[in-house]
Amino acid sequence: MPRVRTRHVAICVTLLVWVYYFLPGDEAGFLQTLRHGADHGSTATVARYMNDASSLPRIHATPSSFDWSSVNLTYPPSRTPRLPAPFTTRPRIQHAFTSEPRDVRAVQEARRLEVKRVFEKSWSSYRSQAWMKDALKPISGGYVDQFSGWAATLVDSLDTLWMMGLRDDFYEAVGAVATIDFGASTAPTVNTFETCIRYLGGLLAAFDLSGHEVLKTKAIEVGDLLYGAFNTENGMPVDFINFADAKTGGGLIVESQVVSASPGTITLEFSRLSQITGDDKYYAAVSGVMDVFAHDQNATKLPGMWPMYVSMRSKDVVSGYQFSIGGNADSLYEYLPKAHALLGSTDASAAKYEAMSRAFMDTAMQNLFFAPMITGHEDILISGNVDVHAEGPSLDPESEHLSCFIGGLFALGGRLFTNDTYLDTGAKLARGCAYAYRSFESGIMPERFNMVLCPGPNRRKPCAWDEARYATEAASRAQHKPHLPKGFTTAKDPRYILRPEAIESVFILWRITGDPVWRDTAWAMFEAVATATETQFANAAVLDVTVKGADKEDYMESFWLAETLKYFYLCFADPGLVSLDEFVLNTEAHPFRLAMG
């Protein structure tokens, strides 16, 4: 497969070079429009094509079987604070890109088209095998409904279809979304976190890109459903909404313990919903949650960060002793700089996000990030986990794919807060995940792994390779296997489940720095991922990335289309498409338009 893909790209490059060199610019652009549906260019260019009045269908929303806005809540959330006024000025985030040489454009165009081809295969199979279901099973061609049966893959893919200029597919999908019944669920409980990031996030982003009211209407339906999660005595949201109880308006009971990411990952979606509707209630509800985190940020066992597990029932975000920016906590931290980007800091209720961002970033740099002992001389960082006991913080050099978002987030924070240290740290973290990718036989990093800390008090300072030290560390790990690459002591979870976090950071570093090395890094990652995961129908999770040709699992999360392939595509598309100066992306890679005053 790698040779086939390389040959395919080489042919595309040859054709595109001919177009760029031997036709006038306007003529070449016209030919590209005819061949590729005018799907390449800035957000505005794509919008002109996608909203061409001559081919625009009329789509109206079918109301859900239950009106969530009609529920009389026992504990209605506070209606204050009010939504802040839009930002008037923001610091520049993206690199000031200039026109590239034609041969460079030809290579990137061929890469873009190859990513699009892989997406179209997955989408076509979802459409034919699992339409209106939550997810396609990419090996058997079956389907699964794990997110309430509201067509998660369809909703999650709307904005990717738009960005790729797949006009017919997009409007077919919008027509299907218009009929989704958010008043009925295939499960008795609804996951607040997943419903927020996938459904509400997907609908908001598709509306922000296209402007079609049917998407806004459906977003409000989901928003009002999720608003019921705050119908609790203390105003904190439940992790799972009991569907039947929520319809009655009776008060819900907040769980005694949840992962911190769950209540911490509602801010962007609810704030953006308030912005597009003019209704402050969504922003006010989530602002109260984040006030709890802000109030006790410096009272935890690792001041500046919060433990992985918290109790929203007792508003206890300080008692836990485990700290990480990986799974269970990740998007809590991700949403802090992004909330600042969306809301600004001139309003008192929104000012907390900049302060919270800076505090957690400084704490993470000092306590979680480390330079691993490697055989080469690359200046990289990896994010580990910290436990805090009586004797103080203890850093475990265990990392995971989920933590790879942090490089891009630090780079974004560097631009937002005019802090070169954050940006430099972000680049090292992104390089660290890219290093992990190319270190393994398949060209992909595992879900979870261990490395070796460099000795000395400064954990972020690179060190020389020490074979004896590595052997000792490897021997101490029961899960060590001899075939692992040097520097890695375990691959505790050797799977790759189509995750996006590493390419997410590579994309952000490309857009912020303009350094072409990030595009080449992205292409190497894409080739490895596309080769290892391909199936008859689409792409599937890989059971063991430490070897080539490993078996696959009949499993394809909606984020493969919503996030992973979107980020790959945006690496090779025009930098004006979903500019980081115009949009902020939620944790499911759904872009929300930045409001300007």
Q: Which residues are catalytically annotated?
A: 194, 330, 447, 501
Count CB neighbours of 162 within 10 A: 27
CB burial readout 342-380, b (16+ within 10 A) else e: bbbbeeebbbbbbebbbbbbbbbbebbbbbbbbeeeeeb
Residue pair 323/394 in contact by the 8 Å Cβ criterion:
no
Count CB neighbours of 425 within 10 A: 23
- The continuous run of DSSP H or E covering 593 comes out as strand 591-593
Q: Is 6 annotated as ligand-binding?
A: no
Burial class (CB in 10 A: 0-12, 13-18, 19+), 112: buried
Residue type, 63: P
| Listed residue (148, 60, 52) closest to 558, CA to CA | 148
| Listed residue (387, 408, 395) closest to 331, CA to CA | 408
Residue type, 286: V
Provide long-range contacts, Cβ within 8 A and 24+ apart, for 112-118: 112/40, 112/569, 112/572, 112/573, 113/12, 113/36, 114/5, 114/8, 114/9, 114/12, 114/526, 114/530, 115/526, 115/565, 115/568, 115/569, 115/572, 116/39, 116/164, 116/569, 118/530, 118/534, 118/539, 118/565
Residue pair 133/151 in contact by the 8 Å Cβ criterion:
yes
What CA–CA distances, in Å, run from 277 to 1, 66, 282, 583?
48, 20, 10, 18
Whether the bond into 81 is cis, omega within 30 of 0: yes
Residue pair 446/440 in contact by the 8 Å Cβ criterion:
yes
Say how far apart CA 209 and CA 522 lie, in whole Å.
25
Cα torsion through 455, 458, 461, 463, rounded to 10: -10
Count CB neighbours of 455 within 10 A: 12
Say how far apart CA 120 and CA 164 lie, in whole Å.
10
Look-up: residue for tokens 């459903």? 225
Q: What single DSSP character describes residue 249?
A: T
| Listed residue (32, 64, 61, 60) closest to 45, CA to CA | 32
Residue type, 18: W
Residue type, 546: T
Burial class (CB in 10 A: 0-12, 13-18, 19+), 168: exposed
- DSSP per residue over 145-157, as a string? --STTS-HHHHHH
Classified as helix, coil or strand, 388 is: strand
Q: Which residues are annotated as a binding site?
A: 587
Q: Which residues are annotated as a binding site for Ca(2+)?
A: 587
